[in-house]
Structure formats: structure tokens, C-alpha cells
Chain A
């Protein structure tokens, strides 16, 4: 006989797994600090790559000027400027990433808590079902004997 409450719980769990659950379970593999660290590293890589592309495009944009003034440019100053902007942008993104991924981890942790609670209730339902089945079998045996 199908346990309707158990089916309801399992359906809710399956729907959760289908949507947010997949991402949440990935997040749950990590401790909070590890997860944030990983995401910050990804952000640093992304920002660095993006920044390099921007620098490349700027160089292309001013290519004629750079070629014409290649000997007279203050490369140290230029490098400092590029690095300074990079650090500024990177710092802003790191702060943003830490805040965002902390929040995401917290949210997914909450959702997972509810999910595990539902799993516990499913286990309880299964145990009840099992117990009822055993009782039924015992009664049947008694009746037969």
C-alpha cells in the first residue's frame, strides 16, 4: 500500500532536487569559508582575464600613439596606473564576491536544512511503514498458527 504522506514528502524533495537542490548540493560539499574562497578565486581569475582584455583593447585603440611615442613613454608610471586600477577593481569585486557568496551559502544552507528535515521525516515514515508491515506479518502468522 502506498504511504500518501511519504509520497508527498518524497515529491517535495524531488522537486527541490530538480531546481535549487542541484546547486545547493554542490555548495554543500564545501564549508562556508572554503566555498567563499573558491568563488573569490574564480572571481579574481575572471576579473583578471576581463581586465587583460580591456587593457589589450585599450592598447589597440591607442596603438598608433603608443608606437609613435614608444621611446618616450613612462612605463613605470603606466604600469603603476594599470596595476592600481587593477587592484581597485579587484578589491571591489572581492568584497562583492565575499558578500554575495556568503549570502548564497547561507541561503542554500537553510534550504538544505529543510531538505534534510524532510528526508528525516521520510525515513520516519519508512520505519513506520516497515513496523506496520512486520506487525501485519506477525498477525498473519499467528492467525495461521
Chain B
């Protein structure tokens, strides 16, 4: 799936960059193959049937609007037939004119369909036409598709009645007979009507189903369209009494359905994906703008693992604690790479609980797995800065390095600092363990904390009372030092 997505992204990228080139190349390819097929059917003029002439026509057609592509293709057919018989060439031209005046003038932008339909029928994939038109076009696409079918069967009728130019020249006096035969062949042609009927029914079905607001409407419409196409072909051939090989037809339908699926998969990204290049001006600037549409490819579904709620989590497992501490150490010492060690959800949970408990007030955040930036700052704020500073100063400090931020760690930090001060200055009185006691139970000769500190303690929340007490005791220690 990833490979397919990558291919699709690559194709989209190429299409965005070179949309004009891609569109022109597609039109060129369509014209080239259609004219080459026409030359194979009615190649009476050897010059026009040559690859060079076909390429020249296709090149011109590639740079014309789609409505004029049909005109060019008709002109090519006309010139080919003109070599054989003027009457037949004029007849074919008149039939095309009728098609245009009655039908095609209402769908001028779908000229490519008229050219593509005979091509698809001649290569043995007629069933792709309604599927593609149903998915990418509208109900009115029936008109150009039907005209394409008529065009194909008309060329077939011409070839059925004119085998070679020599034969035609021998029948010069019977041009009217050939004209009548061609029209007979064209009008009394049940397979043509069956095909038009099938095309119309399938296009209508697909258009109706895909317009229903439901999930996978396009996919369902293709599936239903394929089934309807198989059934309609059978019913049509039964009514018209035409030969139909069911197994090849079904295989052909299924193949076309797969092709339609693939095309739809790419088209959904490619549609409107072409970058727009526009230029305009206002009173101050000339603007040459390339507007590239945003692509939002369907990303693969991601499974989000959520840690279990805190109450269900085993809290007192030594291994987990050790890992958590290690991960924390790794994060703290990682410098610019705070996530040097990969964190598992359980570790993250423990880190958040153990390392920065004062910032974990919001219960809703417990479901989050990722630790974001502010958390890192919180952890950094809880580092044992005093100890770090002492270590940098070269002081010899014994005892384990404590986790910052926890009650015990803070108390231990205070205790160690107090003991250190006591050892340096023998005059200091008091015990480090006194920090656990209530300030009111302190020795009477100790000074009360300053006003600012008192305000801070008053404002601190219940969850951080212990930390406040530790702070207080540290202040007391400092005061004693003073």
C-alpha cells in the first residue's frame, strides 16, 4: 500500500510540475492511436496512412481544444475516403455533421470521447468507455459516447462495402449502390444499438449511484455498473438476436472494471491537482502567480496506543522505576536531544508522575503519550542545580544523585546542602531533618521566613505542600548561615 501511495504521490508531483506537457502528451497519444486505427480501417491514401502524416495530425490535434480534435479526426477520415470515393467521403462527412448538429453541439467539451470511443472499441475494450465516462463524466456523456459508437460502426460499414480502391473503381457507376449499402449496414446494425443501449444504461447507473451520499459510492458505482453492463449486454444481445460470447465478455468487463478502479484511484488525487498559472495586475504590481493546490493524500491508519489509567498501572515495580530513572537521566543529559532514549508510554507516564509531579495537575492530560516542549522545561527546572553547580566547582559529593522534583529528592538535596554548609561552617546549628517538621515547631531562635516566602507558601497548592516545606526549610538553612 505504501508503494502504491508513493507511486501516486510521485505521479501527482510530476503532473503538478508538468501538467501542460502531460495533458498535451495524452491528447497526442489519443489522437495518434485513434488516427492510426482509422488508417488501419480506411487506409485508402498511403500518404495519409503513413506514420509521419499521422504524427503530424496528432501533433496539431494535441494543441487544439478537445472540441476541435473531433473536427480534425473527421477531416482525416474525410481525406482518406476522398481518395476512394467522393460520394462516400461526403456521405461520411454529412453523417458527422448530423451528429454534431443534433447532439455534439450540446457537449462541446467532450470531443475527446468521440475520438476515444472508436479507439477503445477497435482494441477490444468497449466496456471501458461507459465505466470511465460514468465515473469521470456525467449523464450527458451518453451523447458523445453514442456518437463515437456510430462513428466506429460507420467506418466498419465503409470497409465492409469498399474492400480496395481498384474494386471501387470497377464499381464506379454503382456509387449510389455502395452509398445505399453503407447506410443499410449502418442503420440495420443491431450490435450498434445494443452497444449504445448498454453504454447509456451503465452510464446512468454509475452516475446515479456515485451521486448518492454514502461511503465508497464511487467504488460501489463501478461494481454495480459492471454487473449492470454484463446483464444489459446479455439482455441486449437476446433482444437484438446478436451473437455474444459470454465468458470473454465477462472477463473483459471485469478487466475494464479493474482499470476503472485504478484510474479512479489516481484521478482522485490528480483531479484539480494541476497547478494554475495566472497573471494579472493591479495599480502597483504585475503578478505572475503559480497556484499549486494542496494535496491531502489518504494517510494510512495509525493505531494510537494509549497507556492504561494510572490506577490500573502497577506503580511499584523496581524495573519500571529503574528504566524511568534511566530514561530521565538520558533526557536530562541529552542536551539538545532530550529524547535520546526512546520512551515507552509506561516510562513517559512514570516520568511525568515522578519527575515533574507539580505540573501534572490536569487529569485529562494523562492520556497523552507524547511529552511536549513545556514538559522538558519543567524537567529542566527540576534539575538538581545546586548539585550540578557544586560538581562544576569541584566539590566532592557523596551519595546517590536524586531525582529532581520529587518530595524525597528535594528534601534530600536540602539535607545534603545543609550538611555541607554545616561541615564548612561549624557554627551552624540545627538539623537537616528538621525540614520535615512544621515551621511552628522549629527552634525559637530561628528566624521566620521572609514575607515574600510566606506569601508564596500561602499560595501554593495542597499538592505541593511538601515541596513548599522543603523550600522553607532551605530558606531557614540559609538564614542560619547568614
A residues contacting B by CB (< 8 A) are 2, 6-7, 10-11, 13-15, 17-18, 46-47, 49-50, 53-54, 56-57, 60-61, 63-64, 100, 126
- Which A residues are in CB contact (< 8 Å) with B106? 100
Assess whether B276 is in contact with A15, with CB atoms less than 8 Å apart. Answer: yes
Are A57 and B102 touching (Cβ within 8 A)?
no
Closest 4 CB pairs of A and B: A50-B101, A14-B278, A46-B101, A14-B280
A61 touches B101 (CB 8 A): no
Which of B98, B105, B276, B280 is in CB contact (< 8 Å) with A10? B280
Give Cα A7–Cα B280 distance, bound, in whole angstroms: 10
B275 to chain A, nearest CB (A): 11
A116 nearest CB across to chain B (Å) = 16
- Chain B neighbourhood of A61, CB < 8 A: 179-180, 183
Contact indicator B98/A11 (Cβ below 8 Å): no
Q: Are A11 and B102 in contact (CB under 8 A)?
A: no
B179 touches A60 (CB 8 A): yes
Shortest CB-to-CB span from A7 to chain B, Å, is 6
Q: In chain B between 142 and 182, which residues have their CB closer than 8 angstroms to a CB of chain A? A: 176, 179-180
Nearest residue (CB) in B for A43 is B105
Q: Roughly how many angstroms separate A53 CA and B98 CA in the complex, as a whole number?
A: 7
Give the docked Cα–Cα distance between A57 and B102 (Å).
Answer: 15
Q: Given that A57-B94, A63-B176 are contacting pairs, would A50 and B102 also be in contact in the complex, using a CB cutoff of 8 Å?
A: yes
* B97 / chain A contacts, CB cutoff of 8 Å: 49-50, 53
Complex CA distance for A137 and B76, rounded to whole angstroms: 66
How far is it, in angstroms, between the C-alpha of A17 and the C-alpha of B278 when the chains are bound?
Answer: 10
* Measured CA separation A54–B102 after assembly (Å): 11
Task: Select one of A46, A54, A126 contacting B105, CB under 8 A.
Answer: A46
Contacts of B183 in A (CB 8 A): 57, 61
* Complex Cα–Cα for A39 and B101 (A): 13
- A10 to B95: give the CA distance in the assembly, Å: 46
The reply to whether A47 and B176 form a contact with Cβ atoms under 8 Å apart is no
Residue in B102, B106, B279, B289 with the greatest tally of chain A CB atoms within 10 Å: B102
Q: Given the complex, which residues of A lie within 8 Å of B176, measured CB to CB? A: 60, 63-64
Chain B: residues with Cβ within 8 Å of the partner, total of: 23
B138 to chain A minimum Cβ distance, whole angstroms, is 13
Nearest CB of chain A from residue B277's CB, rounded to whole Å: 9
Residues of chain B within 8 A of A11, CB atoms compared: 276, 278, 280, 287, 289, 291
B residues sitting closer than 8 Å to A (CB atoms) are 91, 94-95, 97-98, 101-102, 105-106, 176, 179-180, 183, 276, 278-280, 282-283, 285, 287, 289, 291
Can you sample 26 A-B contacts with CB below 8 Å?
A2-B285, A7-B287, A7-B289, A10-B282, A10-B287, A11-B276, A11-B289, A11-B291, A14-B279, A14-B280, A14-B289, A15-B278, A17-B278, A46-B102, A46-B105, A49-B97, A49-B101, A50-B98, A53-B94, A54-B98, A57-B91, A57-B94, A57-B95, A60-B176, A60-B179, A61-B179
A7, A47, A60, A63: which contacts B101 (Cβ < 8 A)? A47
Chain A residues contacting B285 (CB-CB under 8 Å) are: 2
B101 neighbours in A (Cβ, 8 Å): 46-47, 49-50, 53
CB distance from B307 to the nearest CB of A (A): 43
Instruction: Give Cα distance in the complex from A105 to B279, angstroms.
Output: 27
Quote the shortest CB–CB distance from A105 to chain B (angstroms).
Answer: 15
Residue of B nearest to A46 (CB): B101
Given A14-B279, A63-B176: 4 more A-B contacts, CB < 8 Å: A13-B280, A57-B94, A57-B95, A126-B282
A49–chain B nearest beta-carbon distance, Å: 6
Q: Which residue of B lies closest to A89 (CB)?
A: B102
- Complex: A7 Cα to B281 Cα, angstroms: 10
In the complex, residue of chain A having the shortest beta-carbon distance to the beta carbon of B183:
A61
Establish whether residues B180 and A15, one from each chain, have CB atoms under 8 Å apart when the complex forms: no
Q: How far is the CA of A50 from the CA of B95 in the complex (A)?
A: 9
Chain B residues near A13 (CB-CB < 8 A):
280
Expressed in whole angstroms, the minimum distance between the Cβ of B295 and any Cβ of chain A is: 17
Interfacial chain B residues near A2, Cβ < 8 Å: 285
- Which residues of the partner chain A approach B279 to less than 8 Å between Cβ atoms? 14
Cβ distance B270 to chain A, nearest Cβ, rounded Å: 17
Task: State A141–B443 Cα separation when bound (angstroms).
Answer: 72
A15 to B274, CA, bound (A): 12
Chain A residue numbers with a CB within 8 Å of B287 are: 7, 10-11
Alpha-carbon gap, A131 to B176, bound state (A): 79
Q: Tell me the bound Cα distance from A7 to B278 in angstroms.
A: 11
Q: CA–CA, A100 to B108, complex, Å?
A: 14
**B183 CB to nearest A CB, Å:** 6
Contact A18 B98 (CB under 8 A): no
CA distance in complex: A65, B183 (Å): 16
What A residues does B95 contact at CB under 8 A? 57
Q: Which residues of A contact B94 (CB under 8 A)?
A: 53, 56-57
Determine the distance from Cα of A14 to Cα of B180 in the docked complex, in whole angstroms.
53
For the complex, give the distance between the alpha carbons of A64 and B183 in Å: 15
Minimum CB–CB distance for B36 against chain A, Å: 29
